[in-house]
C-alpha cells in the first residue's frame, strides 16, 4: 500500500476563490481545510477551516468575545455576506502553514510520520508538480486499523 493507492480527490481552491465558496466547500464535508493551488496548479499551502471564519467575524469581535455576545442574531447573519466579497488570499494566516507533500511511492509509515511531525491532518500526493489527490488522517487511520 503506497500513497498512490491512498490518494483520494480533495477540494482545492486558488487565491482568487471567494471566501464564501471556500466556506461552502468546507461545510458539510467535515474537512480539516482546503488545499490552495498556486497559479501553475501545484499545491502550495493549506487553508485551515477556522481561518475562513476570521472573515465572517468582525475584527473587534475576534479580539473581545464579549462583544460578540451583544450582537444579535440578525446582525450576525449579515456578516456572512462579507464572505462573498473576499477571497481565499485574505483568509490565509500571516505565516502560511506548510502543506506536507509526498510522492506516490510513499509508504503508510512514511505518511504517518509526516503527519505526526507536521501536525497536518492532510497530505498532498504530488507527481511531477501535479497533484494526484490527498490523504487525510481519517483515511490513513482507517487503513492502519484495517489490519
Cell 461545510, located at residue: 27
Is residue 4 near a second copy by the rule CB under 8 A?
Answer: no
Among the residue ranges 10-18, 36-44, 117-125, 126-134, the one whose residues contact a second copy (CB under 8 A) = 117-125
Is residue 86 near a second copy by the rule CB under 8 A?
Answer: no
Sole binder of a second copy in the list 40, 65, 95, 128 (CB under 8 A)? 65
Is residue 107 near a second copy by the rule CB under 8 A?
Answer: yes
**Ramachandran class of 129: left when φ > 0, alpha when ψ lies in -120 to 50, beta otherwise:** left
User: In angstroms, what CA-CA distances link 23 with 4, 11, 64, 87, 115?
Assistant: 28, 12, 23, 11, 24
Among the residue ranges 7-15, 23-31, 39-47, 125-133, the one whose residues contact a second copy (CB under 8 A) = 23-31
User: For residue 36, which of 13, 10, 63 has the smallest C-alpha distance?
Assistant: 13
The residue (of 12 and 118) whose beta carbon lies closer to a second copy is 118
Is residue 24 near a second copy by the rule CB under 8 A?
Answer: yes
- The answer to whether 32 and 139 have CB atoms below 8 angstroms apart is no
Is residue 32 near a second copy by the rule CB under 8 A?
Answer: yes
Edge-to-edge strand order for the sheet containing 130-136? 101-102, 122-127, 130-136
Q: Find all residues with CB under 8 Å of 145, minimum gap 6, and list them.
A: none
Sole binder of a second copy in the list 76, 90, 101, 132 (CB under 8 A)? 76
Is residue 101 near a second copy by the rule CB under 8 A?
Answer: no
Question: What's the DSSP call for residue 134?
Answer: E
Binding interface with a second copy (CB under 8 A): 1, 23-24, 26-32, 48-54, 56-57, 61-63, 65, 68-69, 71-73, 76-77, 79-80, 105-110, 112-121, 136-138, 140-142, 144-145, 147
Amino acid at each position: 500500500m503506497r500513497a498512490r493507492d491512498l490518494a483520494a480527490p480533495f477540494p482545492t481552491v486558488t487565491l482568487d476563490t471567494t471566501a464564501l465558496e471556500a466556506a461552502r466547500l468546507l461545510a458539510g464535508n467535515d474537512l480539516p481545510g482546503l488545499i490552495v493551488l498556486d497559479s501553475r496548479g501545484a499545491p502550495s499551502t493549506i487553508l485551515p477551516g477556522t481561518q475562513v471564519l476570521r472573515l465572517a467575524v468582525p475584527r473587534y469581535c475576534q479580539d473581545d468575545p464579549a462583544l460578540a455576545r451583544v450582537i444579535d442574531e440578525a446582525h450576525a447573519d449579515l456578516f456572512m455576506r462579507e464572505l462573498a466579497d473576499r477571497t481565499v488570499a485574505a483568509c490565509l494566516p500571516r505565516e502560511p502553514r506548510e502543506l506536507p507533500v509526498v510522492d506516490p511511492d510513499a509508504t503508510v509509515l512514511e505518511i504517518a510520520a509526516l503527519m505526526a511531525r507536521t501536525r497536518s491532518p492532510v497530505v498532498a500526493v504530488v507527481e511531477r508538480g501535479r497533484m494526484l489527490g490527498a490523504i487525510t488522517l481519517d483515511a490513513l487511520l482507517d487503513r492502519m486499523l484495517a489490519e
